[in-house]
Structures are given as C-alpha cells and as structure tokens.
Structure 1
Amino acid sequence: MNELDAGVAVPIETETVPVRRILGLNPGPMTGPGTNSYLIGEERLSLLDPGPADEVQLQNFLQAIGDAKLENILITHTHGDHSPGALALQEATGARLVGLKAPDVAGHDKTFAPDRLWNDLDTIDCGEYSVQLIATPGHVSNHICFLLLEEQLLFTGDHILQGTTSVILPPDGDMTAYLDALDRLLLIPLKALAPGHGSVMMEPHSEVEKLIAHRLKREQKVIVGLESLGAVSLDELVLTVYDDVAAQLIPWAKRTLLAHLLRLQQDERVQCNNKLWEMC
C-alpha cells in the first residue's frame, strides 16, 4: 500500500468475512504511511480505529459504509492516531463505541467514551461474523487487539506493527505486560495479523516469536551496556543500547529503554540511584 491509496477502502485477503483496509491521511515518522482503519463485514459493519479526527477521512468512511449499517466502532487504544475520529463517526452513524477508556496520563484521547465497560474475551456477535476482545497491555495499559473469529484474523493496533516495533511508554506502558501479552497470542489459533501501521502479516506466530526474541535481545544489550559502562544516565545508555536507531528516533527509544530498565529493576537485576542506572 502506498500514499496514493490513502482514504480508499481496499479489500484484504479473507475467506468468508469481507474486510477492507482504509489508510489514514496521517503519514509521518511515527505512523509510517498512516494509520490503518479496517471496515469489517458486509451488511452489519464494524470499523476499527478511525484514526485522527479528520472531516475528509470521515467522508471516506461514510462512502465506504454506503447503505450498510455501521454497528460498532472498535478502538484498540486511545492514542491520537487511533481513536479521536470515533466521536464524529459515532455522531454520523449511531454506532456504539467498543474499547477501554483513556488512562489518566498525558498523550491519550480523553474524548473517547465507550458505551459500556468492556472486558477481556468479550465477544461481539454481528450475525455474519464475531469479534472477540483480547486484552494486550504493554504499549499502553488500555490496549486491546480484536480477533475476527471466523477468519482467525487479529487486528493488532500498535501491539504488533509491520516492519518496526512499538514504543513502550512508561509509566502507563509496561514491558513485562507487553511480553506476557505476546506470549498469550502464541496460544491463540491465528492465520494473519492486521496491524495498525503497515501491511497484513500472513505468518502470525512467527512474527510474534520474532518480536519476543527482538525484545529479549534488546534487554540483553541493556545488561551488557550496564556491565560495560557502570553507573550511567538514561541519556548515555540509550546511545549504546540503541546504536542501530536513527538519531531522530532516540527520544522514543529512550522511552522503551526505560521500560526495559523498569522490568529489570522489578526483577532486582538493576537499580537506580540519583538518576544513574547500574547492575545490582
């Protein structure tokens, strides 16, 4: 998919339940080509992650919905590139809002107000298909993946991205919770992953295993860095641990590095004194 496809509903490969991907109008360094929205179903529709509030994209959604009924707006999490468009879309269609409310930290869309309290493993029956909520905290605490049961297709939001890795954002994001959620996905029968950014992935469990291995390899690099440098600040350590990352991404890498350090601190393997990190 390229930028020329932005706003256009493009079918993805499925067996029985139609799914169309609609690329957002928000390309950028952290969003790639833009946020992926997904329109699920034929007559009783669900739209996942409408992205930023954007009148042009709203009209694109309404054109794709056509004469069908939009019943659900599914939100993986409340970051600004995923959920703010839900409010206008609900006003235009009357669809219910499915997801978890924003945590009380900066950087979340506080306009998102789900219609009810939703829980892990809740299943939405739309007649022609069913969608199950899978709690996947880590990137942020209120992250949910949505499983299209008939297709064994998992919509992963920012939990799993194609071609890159998610930023883990303490204090709300948590590396241990993130890895535990990835482990959980290995136990679920899956045929494909539909990410919030990037292309559909057709080897889901292999992708999850590679992502776990990548995170643990990075964690080992944190340990080696601390053993080599001794007591060190976050600003210094990130340049060693993320020496393979472009300079403009270092501020985001520093957030994920902190998540690794907090995980290791919880395991009593590292400690922090006067903002300097070192091995225990």
Structure 2
Amino acid sequence: TGPGTNTYVLGHKRFTVLDPGPANPAHIERILELTGGAIDQVVVTHTHQDHSPGTVALKARTGCRVYGQPAPAGAAQDPTFAPDEEPVHGDVIKTDAGSLKVLHTPGHASNHLCFLLLEQELLFSGDHVMQGSTVVINPPDGDMKAYLESLYDLLDEPVRYIAPAHGFLMGHPEAVIDFLITHRLAREHKVARVLKSLGSTGLKELTAEAYDDVPAAIHGVAARSALAHLLKLEADGRAAREGEAWHATSHT
C-alpha cells in the first residue's frame, strides 16, 4: 500500500512487533533476523490485508502472544487473525520498550487501535493518521463520523511524535491532526453545499460535483468517501435518502 506498510520492532532484548504486515516470507524472515526470534508479543492496529496476515507465521515460529481486535463479521478483512488478547480503550500493554496505551480509534476500520508508547509520547497511529496522504474511509466498516471523533480524541493524549503505518515519522502532532480534521470538514461542507444545490441526486452525480478537484479517473474511489460524508450528514440530521437518491434536509 503506497510506499509499503511500516512494521515497528519495540524492545532491547525481548521484542514486541507492531503490525507485521502481509504474509510476505522475506519480510517475516527479516523480522526474525532483527529480533533473533526473541518476540514476546505481536500487536496489530487493524485487520486490513496489509497489516495483520504476517501474524500467523510469527506466532508459529516464536509462540508469541497476539494482541488486537479480530476482523469484523462480514468485512473483507484478514480472517486468519486470531488474537490471544483483545485489548480495549485505555488498556496498557507492557513491553521491553515501555508501556503501550491502547486507544480505540474507529473510522478507517471499526476495529482500529492506535498504541501510545507512554514514556516516549510516541503514537503508533496505524492507518488512522498517515504521512503524505489522507486515509480511505470506506463504508460500511469505515465511518467518517467515528473517524473525526477519534481524531478529536487524540488531541487529548500526550503525543510528541506520530509513527504511522505508511510514510515517515511526524512531529507537531497537533498541527497534523488539525490539518486532517480541517481537510475532512472542508470536504463535508462542499458535499453539503453541492447536495443542497442539486436537490435530489444520486451518489455518482454528487461525487462528480463535490470532487471536481480530483481526476475523473478516481471518482470511483472518491464516491466511497462521498458516501462516508453523506452517511455522517445523515447521522447529523443534515441529509436524508430515499432509495438511491440523497437530498439535504432543512437542518443543512
């Protein structure tokens, strides 16, 4: 995905592997080489195919304990992921590198977790915050309202640096998160404005207008984000649908 999925190895003598990535034999061997096989734990941010499938091989080779939330029922995610522990928001996982605080951050995926290394104020953000690109919010498992609320929640955490699953380490976390919130709300305003001007409209027509600043070739992908915005507007009482048609409500 993009430049690839970052796998993080935490520890000094005993190791915790965060997001082992896809079931890529060469990558798994590299993780085992770096750690000498001394892996106590694997922690996974979510069960998309580029994040969790490598867990099975590491578990088989090292007997490590696996932390994360299983794939949601009916979602086209990693069915092989079988955690020993299913941590919830606020739990703390002890590692050789320090304490990992678990933060439930739904939005990109309903089972998405971020992990905050408390002593270093370093947030492993998975796909919740990426460097260099915005995150795909693909309903029904992706949820724009939950995504924005999860971003706001991160601003309450003591974070100095963000280590994303895609891209490079980021400083100035408040600015990074503020940009993401502003970007999403700006698009939401545009979707709401277009919806009001078009009256009753289908998703394809709305996407063409609300995403006229992106190439038409990726309007198929943009339509998934447009739907996520419409569902948020619906939850906020600002949009409604009848069959395949959407329209603004008087709240808009």
Report TM bin, short chain: over 0.9
Contiguous gaps of at least 5 residues in structure 2: none
**CA distance, structure 2, for counterparts of residue 262 and residue 254 of structure 1:** 12
One-letter code of the match for 1:32? G
Q: Which residue of 1 is the match for residue 36 of structure 2?
A: 66
What SS does structure 1 have at the residue aligned with 2:246?
strand
**Residues 48 and 247 from structure 1, CA distance in 2 versus in 1: closer, same or farther, beyond 3 angstroms?**
farther
Q: Which residue of 1 is the match for residue 68 of structure 2?
A: 99
| Residues 1-280 of structure 1 aligned to structure 2 (within 5 Å) | 31-66=1-36, 69-280=38-249
**CA distance, structure 1, for counterparts of residue 158 and residue 95 of structure 2:** 21
Deviation at 1:200, TM superposition (A): 0.9
What SS does structure 2 have at the residue aligned with 1:103?
coil
Deviation string 1:88-121 (CA, Å, 9 cap, x unpaired) is 0111111111110110123210110110232111
**CA distance, structure 2, for counterparts of residue 260 and residue 46 of structure 1:** 37
Deviation at 1:60, TM superposition (A): 1.0
List 4+ stretches of structure 1 deviating above 6 A: none
Is contact 2:6-2:165 (8 Å) kept? yes
One-letter code of the match for 1:276? A
Deviation string 1:139-162 (CA, Å, 9 cap, x unpaired) is 111000011111100011110111
TM-score (structure 2 length as normaliser):
0.95
Is contact 2:16-2:96 (8 Å) kept? no
* Bigger mean CA offset, 124-133 vs 256-265: 124-133
How many residues of Structure 1 are paired with residues of Structure 2 in the alignment? Answer: 249
**CA distance, structure 1, for counterparts of residue 120 and residue 85 of structure 2:** 26
Deviation at 1:179, TM superposition (A): 0.8
Is contact 1:100-1:118 (8 Å) kept? yes
TM-score (structure 1 length as normaliser):
0.86
Deviation at 1:128, TM superposition (A): 4.2
Is contact 1:78-1:102 (8 Å) kept? yes
Q: Which residue of 2 is the match for residue 17 of structure 1?
A: none
What SS does structure 2 have at the residue aligned with 1:60?
helix
Contiguous gaps of at least 5 residues in structure 1: 1-30
**Residues 269 and 164 from structure 1, CA distance in 2 versus in 1: closer, same or farther, beyond 3 angstroms?**
same
Is contact 1:80-1:108 (8 Å) kept? yes
**CA distance, structure 2, for counterparts of residue 116 and residue 160 of structure 1:** 24
What SS does structure 2 have at the residue aligned with 1:256?
helix
**CA distance, structure 2, for counterparts of residue 112 and residue 102 of structure 1:** 7
One-letter code of the match for 1:40? L
Deviation at 1:278, TM superposition (A): 1.1
**CA distance, structure 1, for counterparts of residue 16 and residue 106 of structure 2:** 22
Q: Percent identity?
A: 48
Deviation at 1:132, TM superposition (A): 1.2
